[in-house]
Structure 1
Amino acid sequence: MGKVALIGDVGGHPDQLRRALAWLGVTSERLPPELTVIQVGDLVDRGPDSAGVLDIAGKLLEDRQWIQLAGNHETQYLPGGEIFWREPLPEGDVTRLREWWADGRLRVAEAVRTADGEELLVTHAGLTLACWQRLGGPTSATETAAILNERPDLIWERGEHGRDEDAGPLWAESGAALHEPWMGYFGVVPFGQVHGHSTVVRFAERTWRCAGRIRHHATVDWRARHVRVRIGGRVFTGIDPGHGRTGADEWRPLILDDAHVTTPSRR
């Protein structure tokens, strides 16, 4: 087995993506043979140069070791999507995203098996309890990821608002929608998760933005900007660094040593 690195939301900041790649030892347009990278979506919007981010990702997507997930900011540009960002991408970049979606380079979910045999589901925003139950309650992350990749209709499920647990795996908010329902579940939590999109803390202020129940089960790596919430013997890890308009001062990809992806490629 090799190493799996998971990169959180980039949000239109090519300098931040280059920083993450340099930290991973990526010095060219190809990844080291032992490294697989999963980027959890939201490559675009907010920052100064979404096209620059897409240029970097596009080159790395030529290598099957780069796995690109869709975020809600990408899906607004896909066929059937509704533009919500006030500064939409130019047509050329929209075409590029649609091509990635059509040929399978842009996908909804991935599954990773760690060195100790645990499976992790990786999506942009996390899979809520309600959405997992709608899928039929699959017991493995690999099966769940495969179903999500075959049911892209769920990318449009926003719920009534981000705190609605009916929100799909590209829209659910950390805390009320993602964590609290799983904490109240009396069954077996089937697998851990890794997600971006939102977080239960404000990294810059080092303060919490969630209920005390979640805080009691959470640990924060303030430097890396990772939040781990323990639920039913599993760990849900949030890796959105919260770049906003200006970019985070410091953050890190999440590294899983001796791990590998388990979801069949669609390419």
Structure 2
Amino acid sequence: MATVVIIGDVGGCAGELARVVGPLSGDPGVVVVQVGDLVDRGPDSPGVLRLVGERLAGSAPRWVQLLGNHEAPYVGGEPFWPEPLADADAAVLRRWWLTERLRVAAAVRAADGEEFLVTHAGLTVAAWRELGEPVSAATAAALLNTRPEPLLWDFGGPLWAEASPLYGSWLREWMPFSQIHGHSAIVRYPDRRWACEERIRIRSSVDWEARRTVTRLGGGCFVAVDPKHGRSGAPRWAPLVLEGAELLL
């Protein structure tokens, strides 16, 4: 068992990432899973890549790095962001992808036995069916880590799904495992407003200080961990900490 710390989108905000990662350094009882979108938008994408590179090369805490849609253009996806990374930084991402330092998914079992699939944007019903309807988070993660194309680059896939339609896709389907994702949110954190349909809102709760939402559906729940740092970083936020958890894959 370990403490699993799940960090939402960073978006080039190296200072915000360093503040939560610093206290974890050297702790062999911690596993960090970062959900992708390390780069773009914020002031210091190169600094983020340097920090993560140091953690990937270290022994404690163990660092599991997932692929986000903002990393995707550098490893096979189509360019979309108007401010591309410098060639040297793009080469870092390509090297991580080729050496499998960048993964598509992880699976975690919480202390109470609940299993979570962790991806950048979440797995819709359609994407789950395309994978063959896996019944466990670990199986779903293993299948996603084979890098299935074109699912990986599709706008409804695990790098691009939007939270509200993602949750809506599971309203009439029994979800076989819970999910943790970044990429999008069903609230607007700066003005503390909901940004989703009523049928989603009534199933959801929000921690405004941590910038995290939980939406409960049949069979499980969605936990959204994107703090929406924007260009300058969120004034307050916190990673998701699962004590007594286990990294399954």
TM-score (norm 1): 0.90
Task: Tell me the CA shift for residue 81 of structure 1.
Answer: 2.3
C-alpha distance in 1 between matches for 2:56 and 2:37: 15
What amino acid maps onto 1:4 in structure 2?
A: V
SS at match of 1:111: strand
Task: Identify the residue that residue 50 of structure 1 maps to in structure 2.
Answer: 45
C-alpha distance in 2 between matches for 1:73 and 1:19: 22
Within a 5 Å distance, the mapping from 1:22-101 to structure 2 comes to: 22=22, 25-26=23-24, 30-63=25-58, 65-78=62-75, 80-101=76-97
Q: 5+ residue gaps in structure 1?
A: 159-166
Task: Tell me the CA shift for residue 12 of structure 1.
Answer: 0.3
The partner residue of 1:182 within 153, 170, 175 is: 170
Task: Identify the residue that residue 2 of structure 1 maps to in structure 2.
Answer: 2
Q: 5+ residue gaps in structure 2?
A: none
The partner residue of 1:128 within 124, 128, 140 is: 124
Within a 5 Å distance, the mapping from 1:201-212 to structure 2 comes to: 201-212=187-198
The answer to whether the 8 Å contact 2:204/2:214 transfers is: yes
C-alpha distance in 2 between matches for 1:133 and 1:152: 13
Q: Percent same amino acid at aligned positions?
A: 53
The answer to whether the 8 Å contact 2:20/2:238 transfers is: yes
What amino acid maps onto 1:221 in structure 2?
A: D
The partner residue of 2:158 within 139, 149, 169 is: 169
Task: Tell me the CA shift for residue 244 of structure 1.
Answer: 0.9
TM-score (norm 2): 0.96
The answer to whether the 8 Å contact 1:110/1:121 transfers is: yes
What is the RMSD of the two structures over their aligned residues, measured on CA atoms? 1.0
SS at match of 1:92: helix
The answer to whether the 8 Å contact 2:176/2:219 transfers is: no
Task: Tell me the CA shift for residue 189 of structure 1.
Answer: 1.3
Task: Tell me the CA shift for residue 63 of structure 1.
Answer: 3.4
Task: Identify the residue that residue 12 of structure 2 maps to in structure 1.
Answer: 12
The answer to whether the 8 Å contact 2:42/2:233 transfers is: yes
The answer to whether the 8 Å contact 2:3/2:29 transfers is: yes
String of CA shifts for 1:46-94, please: whole Å, max 9, x gaps: 001100000000000113610000000001111x322111110000011
Task: Tell me the CA shift for residue 40 of structure 1.
Answer: 0.1
C-alpha distance in 1 between matches for 2:185 and 2:16: 18
Within a 5 Å distance, the mapping from 1:111-260 to structure 2 comes to: 111-153=107-149, 154-158=151-155, 167-176=156-165, 178-185=166-173, 188-260=174-246
Task: Tell me the CA shift for residue 155 of structure 1.
Answer: 2.1
C-alpha distance in 1 between matches for 2:57 and 2:221: 32
The runs of at least 4 aligned residues of structure 1 exceeding 3 Å deviation read none
String of CA shifts for 1:208-252, please: whole Å, max 9, x gaps: 110000100000000000000001041100000001112100000
Task: Tell me the CA shift for residue 10 of structure 1.
Answer: 0.2
C-alpha distance in 2 between matches for 1:49 and 1:152: 31
The answer to whether the 8 Å contact 1:196/1:240 transfers is: yes
SS at match of 2:200: helix
